[in-house]
């Protein structure tokens, strides 16, 4: 209980108060020239207008947009035993799917779909890409287990990341992806088969639903995103 | 010295029971096993003892919450956690529209907001199984599902328009002492996304993919319980950031033993 309360309190809004005001002539007599104080334009004598410039752009690059999954602040274990937050994956195009390693029916096919997508991406583009497999069974799928699963399925390369969360963080993550799942027995889940593509800012761009479906659109989305 | 320590322990235990056994505004729900409409493979599920809010969370209570946690105010909530309808019946960040009543259940609320509200009170949202367990009671019986009057009453509500604008606590409490599980608004559950009966689930869920259409009704353990069937259907169609006019919530709390 203490932990949940603490997490509540840490969410108080933080705002960068030191945003610099920048002024510019509304007629742009001197082109893009800007001033750091209010005044009038030396050419046309009009009052300089405050503008929102570069600062916001810089902010955009560092901060996280409203629709980004990087707003989720939960901590995850990777298959390498590291602790990360989703934001640590920033800067790469993300292809995400929810699976569990004891799955016999759909997951092998979902995993095959992921590998199939990977095979269609050229080597140099793989650097800008991360395939992320999130376990819906955090109790069973420990770091070690995920690592073994990765090796078994030839998904142990740099571009593959496996994540173990907690029941609560997995539930939250599934809800962000609109993935539905239900525990049927201790080692078996029923779940939606959805592969989601996020841009490097963590914004959802494309979702592919179903098993063994034509992944052309998904691949095209990835190619577009990795080109930028 | 020893006796003093002993009496302190006793005192602590009494105090703790007092603190956690019964929290203000909540009632104790004694857990049990029952057969819900959709269990795991339509088998009996077990619900542990817990405390449940007597009333749904009201507009007034939610206002206090957003005053304390500005990130859940109407203009500040981020799109990942709530759609555009979020708090749609509020005038601004801290005020309800004139037409709304502070003692009506809060609606236009997303799952993320409801979940955080409960967690910030040291509580949580109820699971589907817990909610349904308490909701099968009528005024006198804890499992009233076999009574024709039980279903008729709920279905009459489903037909009544704008019930979300009514006030809490105006209809009789059920056998557990809980008000308004039926009659005002639908309520969020913690694991609403475990209900796999959406249209999509026919194609994107691995279980019986080709049979799914029919299996939705075959699964129902009690075909008479049409009202519950509607609740599960609604849950199956929800997404966590949806904010709807007739969807509110209440919290529960585990009992620390």
Q: What is the ipTM of this complex?
A: 0.75
With a cut of 80, say whether residue B130 has pLDDT above it: yes
C-alpha B202/C-alpha A76 separation (Å) is 31
pLDDT for position A28: 76
Top mean-pLDDT range of A40-49, B31-40, B160-169: B160-169
- The arithmetic mean of pLDDT across residues B145-157, rounded, is 84
Q: Are the C-beta atoms of A219 and B236 separated by less than 8 Å?
A: no
On the question of pLDDT at A11 being above 70, the answer is no
Q: Min CA distance, A101 vs chain B (Å)?
A: 15
Per-residue pLDDT at A6: 45
* Beta-carbon-side half-sphere exposure of residue B49 (alpha carbons within 13 Å): 9
What is the mean pLDDT of the segment spanning A148-166?
93
Residues B211-218, mean pLDDT to the nearest whole number: 38
Residue A144's pLDDT band (boundaries 50, 70, 90)? Answer: very high
Mean pLDDT, all residues of chain B: 81
- B119–A7: do the CB atoms touch at under 8 Å? yes
> What is the pLDDT at residue A2?
42
Q: What CATH number has the domain spanning A69-227?
A: 3.40.30.10
Q: What is the CATH number of the domain that holds B130?
A: 3.90.1580
Sequence-distant (≥ 6) Cβ neighbours of residue B107 within 8 angstroms: B89, B164, B185, B243, B244, B245, B246, B247, B248
**Which residues, in sequence order, are CB contacts of B18 under 8 Å at separation 6+?**
none
Query: Rounded to whole angstroms, how far apart are CA atoms B18 and B79?
Result: 41
Q: Name the band, by pLDDT with cuts 50, 70 and 90, for residue A64.
A: confident
Q: Is the pLDDT of residue B72 over 90?
A: yes
Which chain A residues have a beta carbon less than 8 Å from that of B198?
A: 180
Q: Which of A5, A68, A175 sits opposite B240 (nearest CB)?
A: A175
Average pLDDT over residues B179-185: 92
- Per the CB < 8 Å rule, is A67 touching B79? yes
Strands (DSSP E) contained in chain A are: 22-24, 49-51, 75-78, 83-85, 93-99, 129-135, 160-164, 181-185, 188-191, 194-198, 204-209
Share of chain A above pLDDT 70, in %: 85
Burial of B60 (0-12, 13-18, 19+ CB in 10 A): middle
Q: Would the pLDDT of B67 be above 80? A: yes
Nearest to A192 among B120, B204, B240 (CB): B204
pLDDT at B8: 55
Looking at residue A9, its pLDDT comes to: 52
Mean per-residue pLDDT, B86-93: 95
Its pTM stands at 0.77
Mean pLDDT over each residue of chain A, to the nearest integer = 81
Please give the pLDDT value at position B22: 56
Using a CB-CB cut-off of 8 Å, the residues of chain A touching B116 are 8
Confidence of residue A71 (pLDDT cuts 50, 70, 90): very high
- Whether residue A176 lies within 8 A of chain B, CB to CB, comes out as yes
Query: Within a 10 A sphere around the Cβ of A143, how many other Cβ atoms?
Result: 17
Neighbouring residues of B206: CB distance < 8 A, sequence distance ≥ 6? A105, A106, A190, A191, A193, A211
Domain count, chain B: 1
pLDDT of residue B256: 77
Check whether B42 has a pLDDT greater than 70.
no
pLDDT given for residue B205 in this prediction: 44
pLDDT at A10 over 50: no
Helix (H) or strand (E) holding B56: none
Which residues from A are below 8 Å from B196, CB to CB? 180-182, 190, 192
The domain locations on chain A are 19-62, 69-227
Is pLDDT of A124 > 50?
yes
Question: Among A2, A165, A186, which residue's Cα sits nearest to residue A96?
Answer: A165
Check residue A62 and give its pLDDT.
Answer: 60
Residue A164 has pLDDT above 80, yes or no: yes
Is the CB of A192 less than 8 angstroms away from the CB of B69? no
User: A100: which 2 tokens?
Assistant: 């569990």
**Phi/psi at A202 (nearest 5 deg)?**
85, 20
Which domain range does residue B78 map to?
A: 2-254
Q: Please tell me if residue B232 touches chain A, with a CB cutoff of 8 Å.
A: no
The mean per-residue pLDDT over the stretch A197-226 comes to 88
pLDDT at residue B13 in the model = 46
Q: Which of B112, B126, B204 to mutate to test the interface with A (most CBs of A within 10 A)?
A: B204
pLDDT tens digits along A185-208 = 777 777 778 899 999 999 999 998
**Which comes out higher in pLDDT, residue B78 or B158?**
B78
Query: What does the pLDDT average to over B187-202?
Result: 71
* Mean pLDDT in residue range A137-161: 93
Q: Given pLDDT bands bounded at 50, 70 and 90, which one contains residue B11?
A: low
B189: pLDDT strictly greater than 90: yes
């Amino acid at each position: 209980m203490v932990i949940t309360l603490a997490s509540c309190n840490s969410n108080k809004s933080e705002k960068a108060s030191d945003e610099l005001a920048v002024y510019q002539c509304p007629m742009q007599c001197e082109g893009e020239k800007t001033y750091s104080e209010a005044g009038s334009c030396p050419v046309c004598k009009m009052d300089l207008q405050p503008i929102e410039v570069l600062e916001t752009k810089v902010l955009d690059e560092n901060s996280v947009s409203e629709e980004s999954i990087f707003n989720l602040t939960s901590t995850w274990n990777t298959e390498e035993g590291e602790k990360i937050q989703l934001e640590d994956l920033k800067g790469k195009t993300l292809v995400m799917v929810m699976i569990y390693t004891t799955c016999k029916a759909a997951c092998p096919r979902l995993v095959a779909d992921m590998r199939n997508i990977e095979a269609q991406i050229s080597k140099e583009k793989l650097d800008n890409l991360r395939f992320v497999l999130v376990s819906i069974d955090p109790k069973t799928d420990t770091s070690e287990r995920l690592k073994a699963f990765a090796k078994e399925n030839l998904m142990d390369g740099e571009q593959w990341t496996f994540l173990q969360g907690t029941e609560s963080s997995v539930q939250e993550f599934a809800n962000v992806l609109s993935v539905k799942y239900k525990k049927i027995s201790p080692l078996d889940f029923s779940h939606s088969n959805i592969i989601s593509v996020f841009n490097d800012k963590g914004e959802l761009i494309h979702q592919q639903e179903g098993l063994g479906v034509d992944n052309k659109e998904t691949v095209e989305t990835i190619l577009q995103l990795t080109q930028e | 010295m020893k006796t003093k320590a002993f009496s302190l322990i006793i005192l602590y235990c009494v105090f703790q029971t007092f603190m956690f056994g019964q929290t203000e505004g909540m009632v104790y729900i004694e857990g049990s096993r029952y057969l819900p409409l959709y269990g795991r493979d339509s088998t009996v599920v077990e619900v542990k003892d817990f405390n449940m809010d007597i009333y749904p969370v009201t507009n007034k209570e939610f206002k206090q919450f957003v005053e304390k946690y500005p990130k859940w105010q109407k203009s500040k909530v981020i799109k990942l956690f709530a759609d555009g309808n979020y708090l749609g019946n509020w005038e601004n960040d801290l005020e309800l529209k004139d037409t709304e009543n502070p003692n009506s259940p809060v609606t236009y609320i997303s799952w993320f907001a409801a979940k955080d509200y409960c967690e910030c009170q040291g509580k949580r949202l109820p699971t589907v199984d817990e909610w349904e367990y308490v909701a099968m009671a009528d005024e006198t019986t804890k499992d009233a599902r076999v009574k024709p009057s039980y279903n008729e009453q709920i279905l009459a509500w489903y037909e009544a328009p704008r019930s979300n604008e009514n006030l809490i606590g105006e209809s009789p409490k059920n056998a557990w002492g809980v008000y308004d599980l039926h009659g005002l608004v639908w309520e969020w559950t913690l694991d609403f996304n475990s209900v796999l009966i959406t249209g999509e689930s026919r194609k994107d869920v691995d279980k019986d993919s080709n049979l799914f259409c029919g299996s939705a009704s075959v699964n129902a353990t009690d075909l008479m319980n049409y009202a519950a069937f509607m609740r599960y259907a609604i849950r199956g169609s929800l997404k966590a950031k949806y904010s709807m006019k007739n969807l509110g919530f209440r919290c529960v709390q585990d009992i620390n033993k």
